[in-house]
Amino acid sequence: MQTYDLKSRDPAGDDTHIENLQWIDLNDDPITALGRHYPAGSRGLPHSHTKTQLWCARRGVVLVNTAGGRWMIPPGHGLLIPAGLEHFSEMISDVEMHSIYADPAVISAVQPRVLEVTPLASSLMEELVLAEEKPLTPRRKRLIIELLLDEISLLPERPLGLPFPSDARLGRLCRHFLKSPDANAGIDEWASGLGMSRRSFTRLFRAETGVSFVTWRQQACIFASLPGLAEGEPVTNVALDAGYENIAAFTTMFRRMLGSAPSTYLKSRTLG
């Protein structure tokens, strides 16, 4: 597996990134697999692919940005990225990734979706990634791809996308909230900050994000908690940092959104 350091952002690094993108798009295989390591704090160039991408985090946490939203990829999850959608990635921690690229006719995607990657899907992707060093027989490669495609179609979706407004003023408030989340933040406070009435603000927020302020706030608090959990911080500390007054309320919301307690969610999904 190659190590690709985006943090340097020197011309040679950018050229390597562009070469990789060209190689992916020109590859005629039904599925192309790549494995990479990225250091914490690195940030990729904005780009798009002619192919559908499944960006999987085996270890670490990644934030993928588009014009319309942000998607968090914690360990054991992957982001399905539609062909042609411009995006860039930010590494919240040291990251080991496996990425699958497929013709849109093979894997289609209308919008980005975070998927929970099963151990079977992870193992099959690893086989394809390792084929860079240990080539597969044509028959074995065909069987792996067929089973992987079937497994990808069954991966469960998880609500780890966060819609982002295009309105500049509202966008600044949302970015600030992610840095300092507050589970009790109120509509009146945000409306006042924009010099708007409560009614006008709620209409603007839903028009810009597609969800209510309360729903976005709940999602954003859980969204902001994932890097700390992935780094092994105590759940109590993570809950307080996310703006919750007690761990029970945080655990209840986390379980409601993601189906299990924060103490076990990421631990059971770290791949490899």
- What is the predicted pLDDT for the residue at 258? 82
Burial 184-196 (b: 16+ CB within 10 A, else e): ebebeebbeebeb
Half-sphere exposure of 21 (CA within 13 A, CB side): 18
Domains 2-158 and 166-269 belong to one CATH topology: no
Beta bridge partners of 161: 71
Structurally, what CATH architecture does the domain formed by 2-158 represent?
Sandwich (2.60)
Residue 67 sits at the vertex; the CA angle it makes with 42 and 152, to the nearest 5 degrees, is 75
pLDDT of residue 70: 86
Q: What is the pTM of this model?
A: 0.76
Query: What pLDDT, on a 0 to 100 scale, did the predictor assign at position 269?
Result: 56
What CATH class does 166-269 carry? Answer: mainly alpha
pLDDT at site 27: 77
**Residues 257 and 219: beta-carbon distance below 8 Å:** yes
Q: Alpha-carbon distance 133 to 128, whole Å?
A: 10
List average pLDDT for each run of 10 residues in the chain, which is 272 residues long. Answer: 37 55 76 90 91 93 87 90 94 90 93 93 95 92 96 92 87 88 93 95 94 93 86 90 89 88 72 52
* CA 172 – CA 196 distance, rounded (Å): 15
Q: Sketch the domain layout of the chain as residue ranges.
A: 2-158, 166-269
pLDDT at 17: 60
